[in-house]
Amino acid sequence: MRTLDFSKATVLVVGDVMVDQYHFGAVHRISPEAPVPVVKVDKTSVTLGGAGNVVNNIRHLGGSSVLLGFVGNDPNGALAARLLDELGIQSALVETPLPTTTKVRVIGEHQQIVRLDFEEVAVNTREYSELLLQRAADWIKKVDAIVISDYGKGVCDDGLCQGTIEMARSVGIPIIVDSKGDDWNKYRHATIVKPNVKEFGKALGREIQNDDIEIERYGLEALRQYQFDHLLVTRSEKGISLISAQETVHFHTEAKEVFDVSGAGDAVAATLALALAVGIDLQSSIELANQAAGIVVSKMGTAPVEYDELMFARYGYTHKMVGIDYIGTYAEKLRRHGKKIVLATGDFARLQKDHVRCLREAKRLGDVLIVAISKNPEPAARVSGLPTDYGDSLEIISALEFVDCVVAVDSRPDDVARLATPDVVAVIGDYPIGNLKDEFAKQVVVMPLTDRDAGDPARDQAIYA
């Protein structure tokens, strides 16, 4: 099964919670009041930023998370809580007298015109940090990995970071730090610390060139000084470098059209934490995280990486071919997002252009199209009288852009329907309906491959042998 299942992983994310607001519009003139563009706003959106964007990525990748951080007693603090509730993300936010960190961006013609920051760096907030640490202790044995998302807004002080790292090491779970600033003593003994090249140089008090030799040389120096297990340096168009005491590995990125680098680091941290949480080895986890970053930078604004996007980047269209043991989890994720599920089944032993037409029509009946293909179709294979290679059918149908998921079943689609509980079942060609409608589906639509297939009473009354 070329699918990664993150649904059983839970990540604790501790850090600076933000609200990101976007105003999108068009620029047609310059202001008469000052030499600045006038943006006619057409659309406004709001999303979670900072540590909130890490949990948003985890949610869209199918994992679970818990968010710990500060919010203010203000409308944007309430907005952050509401956004978390809408995403179904658990949180234990601590309210402080400081305002909720908020970034407002104005985008004109796909170009950021201005960014407005509403924030105050948290200082003298030890009592609030201790409360966060207590809440982290409540969760430490219930999670599989931890991310410290430090944006330099004061939440991630020495006491919170060191206390969280010590707890993580005591229970043997990985702790990933998305670092900021020049005080790396507070990250001492972390599993992985993830700076970019500029942050890396600032922490060591020197300018570091973005080349393999310098990255490795100073990476080893940082490991010795701060006793990290690994240092993971994100290097923009040059990819990512992993430095450990044993070896250095450089992961080069694919060329991408970059629209916006906002949130790329959050996507890396989220993907890396989930991959390690489900037991994927470190190098494969980094490769996956690198692919996630490549997806995010091709989007405008702080947008999370979607599970299907990551699987396509990882495996190509073959990621659509999943085992029946995963289909229940997949369908549950779709329902949480309010998607209408269509299950298509039929005789795919001898593919023809009418199958493509019917599958395209089936997709129009809902949001997501799952196709169940029988390894030993009955009675269709006997009707055609032709040898079947269901492997060819799996691969060809998976390559269709409008097909979202393909499941191979031993004989009949009943189990797929039972696990996915689709809104609609589309029965394609000369194939029996059986008890699909009565037990598993709200609606059954019959799609004949040719006119002669339509209106056959024997077919409509057929049951499985």
Better pLDDT: 147 or 239: 147
Question: Domain residues for 440?
Answer: 323-460
| Spatial contact of 293 and 263, defined as CB atoms under 8 Å apart | no
75-85 burial: b if 16+ Cβ within 10 Å, else e: ebbebbbebbe
Q: Per-residue pLDDT averaged across 359-368, rounded?
A: 93
Q: Per-residue pLDDT averaged across 39-60, rounded?
A: 94
299 and 338 housed in the same domain = no
426 and 454 housed in the same domain = yes
Q: Compute the distance between CA of residue 348 and CA of residue 373 in angstroms, rounded to an integer.
A: 7
User: Given this model, what pLDDT does residue 101 score?
Assistant: 96
Work out the burial of residue 310: count CB atoms within 10 Å of its CB; fewer than 13 is exposed, 13-18 middle, 19 or more buried.
Answer: buried
Question: Domain boundary residue among 317, 339, 356?
Answer: 317
User: Given this model, what pLDDT does residue 323 score?
Assistant: 74
User: Given this model, what pLDDT does residue 313 score?
Assistant: 76
User: Given this model, what pLDDT does residue 380 score?
Assistant: 44
In CATH, what number is assigned to the domain containing residue 92?
A: 3.40.1190.20
160 and 290 housed in the same domain = yes
181 and 210 housed in the same domain = yes
Rg value, the chain, Cα: 26
Of 266, 308, 347, 430, which is the active-site residue?
Answer: 266
User: Given this model, what pLDDT does residue 432 score?
Assistant: 66
Percent of the chain at pLDDT > 90 equals 57
Residue 461 has pLDDT above 50, yes or no: no
Span 391-410, pLDDT tens digits: 778 888 888 889 988 888 87
Q: What is the DSSP letter of 340?
A: P
Span 118-175, pLDDT tens digits: 999 888 788 999 999 999 999 999 999 999 999 999 999 999 999 999 999 999 999 9
339 and 308 housed in the same domain = no
Span 191-223, pLDDT tens digits: 999 999 999 999 999 999 999 999 999 999 999
User: Given this model, what pLDDT does residue 33 score?
Assistant: 95
203 and 183 housed in the same domain = yes
424 within domain boundaries: yes
| Spatial contact of 145 and 274, defined as CB atoms under 8 Å apart | yes
User: Given this model, what pLDDT does residue 258 score?
Assistant: 54
User: Given this model, what pLDDT does residue 383 score?
Assistant: 44
User: Given this model, what pLDDT does residue 221 score?
Assistant: 94
204 within domain boundaries: yes
292 and 378 housed in the same domain = no
Mean pLDDT over the full length of the chain: 85
Work out the burial of residue 438: count CB atoms within 10 Å of its CB; fewer than 13 is exposed, 13-18 middle, 19 or more buried.
Answer: exposed
Span 77-119, pLDDT tens digits: 999 999 999 999 999 999 999 999 999 999 998 788 999 999 9
Better pLDDT: 62 or 319: 62
User: Given this model, what pLDDT does residue 457 score?
Assistant: 43
3 within domain boundaries: no
193 and 139 housed in the same domain = yes
Write phi, then psi, for 349 (nearest 5 degrees). Answer: -70, -35
Question: Domain boundary residue among 317, 344, 362?
Answer: 317
User: Given this model, what pLDDT does residue 73 score?
Assistant: 94
| Number of structural domains the chain divides into | 2
Window from 179-188, 334-343, 352-361, 432-441 with minimum mean pLDDT: 432-441
User: Given this model, what pLDDT does residue 456 score?
Assistant: 47
227 and 353 housed in the same domain = no
User: Given this model, what pLDDT does residue 317 score?
Assistant: 64
| Spatial contact of 52 and 84, defined as CB atoms under 8 Å apart | yes
Q: Which of 99, 153, 104 is nearest to 301 (CA)?
A: 104
| 20 catalytically annotated | no
Residue 452 has pLDDT above 60, yes or no: no
Question: Domain boundary residue among 317, 341, 375?
Answer: 317
Residue 455 has pLDDT above 70, yes or no: no
220 within domain boundaries: yes
1 within domain boundaries: no
330 and 313 housed in the same domain = no
